[in-house]
Structure 1
Amino acid sequence: MVRLLAHAEIMARTSRLKSVWTAAGRTGRRPIVQDTAFIITAQLWSKGALHVISMLMAQFLSVQAFSTYNVFLLTTTVLASYLGLGLPLAAAKLLARGDTTDGDRERLSVVLYLAAAATVGAVVLKPLYIPVLMPSAVSLNAWWVVAGGALSAWSVLGQSSLYAVRGFRRALLPILSGSALLALGAALAIARSDVHFLIVGALASPLVAAIGSARALSAYDTVPRPSLRLPSSEAFHDVLRTAVPGIGIGVIFTSMTWMIASSLLSHQSSAEQFNMFSVGMQWFALVLFIPLALGQAVFPRYIRMAHQQSTPARMIIQPVASTVAMLLVMAPFAALFTPLLILLYGNKYPFSPVFVVCVILAAAVAGAQTLLSHFVIASRGAGTWMAASLIALSICIACLHVAPPATALAAVLVVGIAYGSLLALAIPIAVYTARTGGRTTTPAAP
């Protein structure tokens, strides 16, 4: 009888261990791989469409028209980062917890109210910031920039919210629809030899993506429904505590690219070099999509682990090491495709193998710091990362002041130096956070 009881106890423990192992497998690597695959698919479609369109525009449009399109993309991206107010980060940290309490409903209402206020402010304050934001050498309707920035901000907010609730599959349709509209605008621009059709397509793309993300979010029971009543001051404080550092982070990174591009555009006869730098940054973003996808997939897990005060070292080391190793291997092979790059974009833009390798290496450095930033923000809050980003911005400004870039290659090197300085700060911060357990600044549910 004793032997039977002992055997039964052993079998019960074995069964419990198997169930725990199975649950760990289902919530561990496999979902991360699946989530990352959906994000990569979406990024490949959207970034791939953008690159194909860029190649076609470089071939069929004049240098000045292509420059107008690149300036539109640059200025709307910068404006969107300002109008975002750090709300995508605040919404992601709020929705990743999966709570539907009254307090979270109020906080989500604060996010939507602030996003709407930012859109209204963009319209009202247009005469103040447009002369600073837009280069005087480019003729572009300022209202298109305002609309593009506002719509892009709403699109990023919707996409970040969907990723926070792990709605990676549902996020595909809005992205695919937006890319299709952008492709339609490009086809009309080529047929009519008018870049303005492409700009209209670029405006319709984030509009459709934002609406699609909102409809997809409404299908999740874990997403709290916004409250119509005026939120409490405590709810505003909780959201702003996360959003304010997020504002700084988004503004810092887009401001760095904007300052480098503006410095390049200020030189005489630099339209070709500006377009080459813009193309380089598009490839930079395409290469960066892998660490970005990994970061977006593991960020909700980092938040939950931060609440439990336990983050395995492999969750930090493996994504960073694998990403950097892969990109470093890609760099020398990418140089071999330089003649193909010239063929795709035209002889007007003389790309060199050194330029291509520098873009890949800069993306490798940026990818490593991007993955570390997700861990630091989840564990220690966005304030720590904003302080490190400010130091990197200061180094970038110093580089532009000492040696303003006159070529696309010099501009890419400045980008690499800025991200390299941030990575040098991120490594000790991440190591210290992992050893001490970090702290979370995510608002606690009432």
Structure 2
Amino acid sequence: MDKEQFSIYSYFILTTTTISIYSALGIGITTNKFFSSLKKELNLETPVMTLWIINISLAILGGVIFTLLSEQIIPKSINFNKNYFAIVILFLCLDIYTSNALIGLGEYIKLCITSLLFFCINIIMVVIAILNNNIDYAILGLISGVIVQLIFNTVCVLRYLSSIQLLEKVNIKIAHLKEILKTMGPMMFVSLFAASNTWIVSQYILVSNRESALEFNLFSIGLQWFSLALFLPSVFSRVLLNYFISHTHSNSLVIAKRNIALILSLFLLLTFVSYIASPIIQGIYSRYTIPAILIPLFLFIAGINSSTNILGNILISQNQEWVWLIFVTIGFLLLNILCALIKEIDSMTGTVIMLINNILIFSLSLFYLFVYKKPHKEEIKI
């Protein structure tokens, strides 16, 4: 696959995932929380159906708005069928609800099966795209994978809702909307800010550097390793949220400390190994000269990000979404300030900015939970 097509594919993935998260407006965490509570208490007044209707409406709205504004959003250098963007955004946004519903219900095996189907379809089509030097195959693979995953997840959720006779009670109440907004309100902005970070940095790279296309491709390569490294920790983080909600009286700080220590140790090891193996990684991307520290830095950022999400899950499970929003907002503002102050941003500079952003949010969350709140000694003792 040549550099131009690789750049288009990277931009496509980055843009569709970012916009789909924008469109979902914090529904993922809210869905996880509601379904976890529904399974625990079997309260049929839990507004999961109202939330699903909102999700479908936002997904359609997001796809339509992106289609109308695609000429302004997508750079002219991206010569590609823009309708594909809207299609993937629609289905990704719809799947945010169903996949998080399965996590909230503890249906991890079913979710694993659908994720594997998505992964296999994507890998097969990417290989075909590389062999034919045609990006269309990779894009069609992504669309097919998302549709298959969405169908399977939707069927699983519908079967559960039908088993508890909740499908028969589709009525929207003011009380339901208030309950949804209580969680979804702050999480909407958390999702917007968190999803914007990599997209904003990539946009600054595209417009502020003479070798913008090359630097964007290098940054995209780092993001690919970042996403790959986050795959299991992100699922694990959502599972932990489910656990924290279901065990509100358990020692969540102890569990958080142990898991954060484990995650950071693992990612420090991965960072070291990837640095040692940088000549091998360079061989994979023979068309590019990748800085030896670039991918190790992204892996380290993934470790910080995973640990931060665990702390955020504790705050969410304790109904402190607004505190979590404040920390994410501070990190988001700092990232934008740094991007605006630095005249030329290349792939390495963008990576360092992301590192600073993640370390700041992690430090604020850590200080708040373990120092400011002053937990009892016996609570944090391992």
2:290 is aligned with 1:351: yes
Aligned 8 A contact 1:323 1:367 in 2: yes
Alignment correspondent of 2:184 = 243
2:153 is aligned with 1:210: no
**Distance of 1:188 and 1:330 partners within structure 2:** 30
Aligned 8 A contact 1:396 1:414 in 2: yes
Alignment correspondent of 2:196 = 255
**Distance of 1:214 and 1:253 partners within structure 2:** 26
Cα gap change, 1:401 to 1:218, in 2 (>3 Å):
same
Alignment correspondent of 1:175 = 115
Alignment correspondent of 1:397 = 336
- 5 Å matches for 1:53-68? 61-68=1-8
2:199 is aligned with 1:265: no
**Distance of 2:271 and 2:170 partners within structure 1:** 54
**Distance of 1:192 and 1:391 partners within structure 2:** 45
**Long gaps (5+) in structure 1:** 1-60, 437-446
- 5 Å matches for 1:3-402? 61-97=1-37, 98=39, 99-104=41-46, 107-126=47-66, 128-220=68-160, 225-227=166-168, 229-266=170-207, 267-306=209-248, 308=249, 310-346=250-286, 348-402=287-341
Aligned 8 A contact 1:248 1:386 in 2: yes
Structure with max Cα Rg: 1
State which of 323, 327, 348 in structure 2 corresponds to 1:409: 348
SS at match of 1:169: helix
SS at match of 2:290: coil
Aligned 8 A contact 1:81 1:247 in 2: no
Return the offset for 1:354.
Answer: 1.9
Return the offset for 1:331.
Answer: 1.9
TM-score normalised to the size of structure 2? 0.90
**Distance of 1:287 and 1:207 partners within structure 2:** 24
Return the offset for 1:84.
Answer: 1.1
Aligned 8 A contact 1:242 1:381 in 2: no
Aligned 8 A contact 1:95 1:161 in 2: yes
Cα gap change, 1:434 to 1:112, in 2 (>3 Å):
farther
**Distance of 1:304 and 1:125 partners within structure 2:** 37
Return the offset for 1:434.
Answer: 7.2
TM-score normalised to the size of structure 1? 0.78
Residue identity over aligned pairs, in percent, reads 16
**Distance of 2:129 and 2:332 partners within structure 1:** 37
SS at match of 2:255: helix
Q: Which amino acid aligns with 2:22?
A: Y
State which of 354, 357, 361 in structure 2 corresponds to 1:422: 361
Cα gap change, 1:312 to 1:179, in 2 (>3 Å):
closer
SS at match of 1:353: coil
**Distance of 1:172 and 1:290 partners within structure 2:** 11
Residues 147-189 of structure 1: CA deviation (Å, up to 9, x unaligned): 1111111222221111111111111221122223223422442
Cα gap change, 1:223 to 1:137, in 2 (>3 Å):
farther
Aligned 8 A contact 2:193 2:332 in 1: yes
Cα gap change, 1:343 to 1:167, in 2 (>3 Å):
same
Q: Which amino acid aligns with 1:358?
A: L
Aligned 8 A contact 2:52 2:97 in 1: no
SS at match of 2:70: helix
Return the offset for 1:405.
Answer: 4.9
**Distance of 1:410 and 1:430 partners within structure 2:** 31
Aligned 8 A contact 1:311 1:434 in 2: no
Q: Which amino acid aligns with 1:252?
A: F
Return the offset for 1:247.
Answer: 1.5
The answer to which of 289-298 and 146-155 deviates more is 289-298
